[in-house]
Each structure stands twice: as structure tokens, then as C-alpha cells.
Chains A and B, each alone.
Chain A
């Protein structure tokens, strides 16, 4: 069969689906990954055939700034907020509506090119990340099953629906502009989160084992040499630097400075540009630019991270206790769930920022995570839970069956 994958043009959306795409290919199926130009090189780096979608929404500078300011200007949100959207106040509901509007506009720009490619290549199945709404539109247009994959997120509710579960008018329009009734039900949803981190379950969910893919790379030589003291990996993903510039590094710079006094080896892993944002680091700090986390974490004792979905799941898949320092609503849920599972501690930057004792708070958290064996045991349980999920290879026959199931056109409201 032919499987077309599509995702947001950002690596956190691409990476979680790479093992499934390769599983399809290794089973003899053809795959293509279609996404925006920004991520084309990353698709190719994963060894997968990329299809470049050149059209992008034309954001003005003001709109861009507004998006970032809105996302990073949020105070702390309630624990597990995605469970009950109705309980969120009007401001927070407006926030979700704002994000949904941006995503739907992005999807509208992408639909024509994606539809054109798909009409020519004729996929049997379209697999799209949970917030790439061009996916369901093009699947509906071709009359093929759409598979929604949750990109490791435990946080993102069906943001295209309102608190009562009704589609937003702009989501209905996204389909209507192409003469289609709105389609709300994918043929299935693929979820890579382990049960104890999962916040909610959608109907027809296919659980999948999370296989860490964090970009290409080679194993650094130093990982094989024991540090002689606990090794603490500090990372904050790929995207914050681009979104926030210089201030993206602040929470991590503060964490690094706080931890420098402990008897640990600090390893800072992120992109070269983001390492640069940190400035001069305390002596003895190791940096690893663009080395995939999965190659470093097996040699570490603790992961300090930003609450990113892929980062959290990679740490969990490798059985590491984690300290999550979040600063935006969608990044709060994963570390919150980790803490709930006993495998980590969750701190909010919005609270740390103004706390004069923050260095002590950070040091205390790290010391507890390193010395209390309960955290490591919980992290190992989480790892086992992940390993007990069906591997991507086991999902391929399920997808092949779905590809042969006729699609019933659903008439939406």
C-alpha cells in the first residue's frame, strides 16, 4: 500500500512518527512524508522520502509576535487541564481558540498542494499529526481513511472542537471551502504515550510503543567513559530558541548555574544555536550539539527538560528520572503526568522565575531525584510499560486492514 504522512513543519511533530513510517517501508509499503520546507531536510535526514509543501500561511510580523507572546505569556494552568475544557475560564478558552485559529489557517494554506500531490500519488492511507488539519481534509477529499497520530502529546485536546465537542466554525469552513462536509472521526488514532502518562483516550485508539527517534547522529565517544559521579543531562528541545530568541535559555541557564555546585557531571544537549544562547557555561559542563538524546541518555542518571513531548517520552523510554521545567500550557501536562507516575518532579518556570530561593529549589529537586531510589524505580516501571506496548511494526498490518476498509462519508454538523 501507499501511505502518505503529513505533519506540522517542526521536528517535535515529525520525529514521533518516523519509526512508524519506517515500519511501513520495512514491511514493503511505499511512504512519503509531506510537510513544509522548514522540515524537509529533517525528513530526509531520517532517511525518509520527503515531499515539500511550499505554501505557508502569510503571517505578518505582528501576528507572529502575537502568537509567541500569547503562548509564552501564559501563567501556570491547572493540573491536567485538557481533561475538562469546560472548567477552564473564558480567557483560557479564548487562548485555545486562538491557537486553533492559527493552526486552521496554517492548514488552509497547505491543503491545495497536499491535495495536488495526493491526487497524483494516490495514497491508500493518510496519516497526519493531531494538529495538522490539512490531513483530514485531504483524506476526505480522496475518500481514503485518515489516521490521526498523537505526536507524543498528553496535553493536546481536540483543539478543533469547542468545549462542548462541536467543531469550530473555521474548522467547518476548512472542509466547506473544498466542498466537503466536516469530518470529525479519523479511522483510528495512534497514541505513543504509555497508559500511565496518557491523559485521555480517544475512541479507536491504537496504542503504539514509543521508539525514540530524536534526529540523526553518531554516538559520541565520551559516553562510554564513566563520569565517576552522577551524569545529569540538561536539554530543552528544538523549538524554544526559534520562538523566544535569547530569553529561551533563561530557565536552563538558571538550572545549570544552580546545579553547577553539585557533585554531578552536567551535559547540555540541544542545537548548536541554542547552546550559543546560553553564553559561557560553568567549568566542567559538557555540551553536545545536535546529538540525539537517545544516544546520550542511556549513559545519564537524570534528565532535566522543558516538558516537550518527545523529550519526556525519550527519557521515559530509557527509564530515566526527570525534572521538567515548563513555561507554557501544553508543556505543563507531560511533566505533571511524570510526577504523578512518581518518575519525576515538575517545576513551573513562571513560579521559579520570581522565587529568590529558586537555586535551592532546583538543587533540592535534583538531589532528591538522584538519591531517592523510588524515582528510578518508577522510571523503570514506565520504561517497562512503554516496552509492553505494540511496536510500530505490529501496527502495520492493522493500518493495512484499515486501508482496505471502505470509508463512510460522515456528514458533520
Chain B
């Protein structure tokens, strides 16, 4: 089910591919986490990921 509030989807492009370029271990990890976030977001049956408070650090939803 899609979210009940319209949230802009700014970019049709997703983190799905990479061409040969200078690799960076940290950035590769980040991209993997973002892919995970995307999967959680797409699988969710209710709203997830809508900005937690700035002074809190854990994921506000199961991740």
C-alpha cells in the first residue's frame, strides 16, 4: 500500500547500479544501507521514515 500522504518522489533514479569508478568502502556501505532503507520503505504497509526529532539517534521504526 502506498503512503496516505503524498510525499514527493524527487528522483526516479535509485541506487541500483555503478559503473567502473574509484571505489570507496565507506560510500559503498552507505549505498548498501540506503538500498536497505528503500526496501523497508517499499515493503512498509504504513508510513515510515518521516523525519524523527533532531535530538534522537535511533531509527524511529524497525530497520
- Please determine whether chains A and B interact with each other in the same assembly: no
* B interface residue numbers (CB < 8 A to A): none
* A interface residue numbers (CB < 8 A to B): none
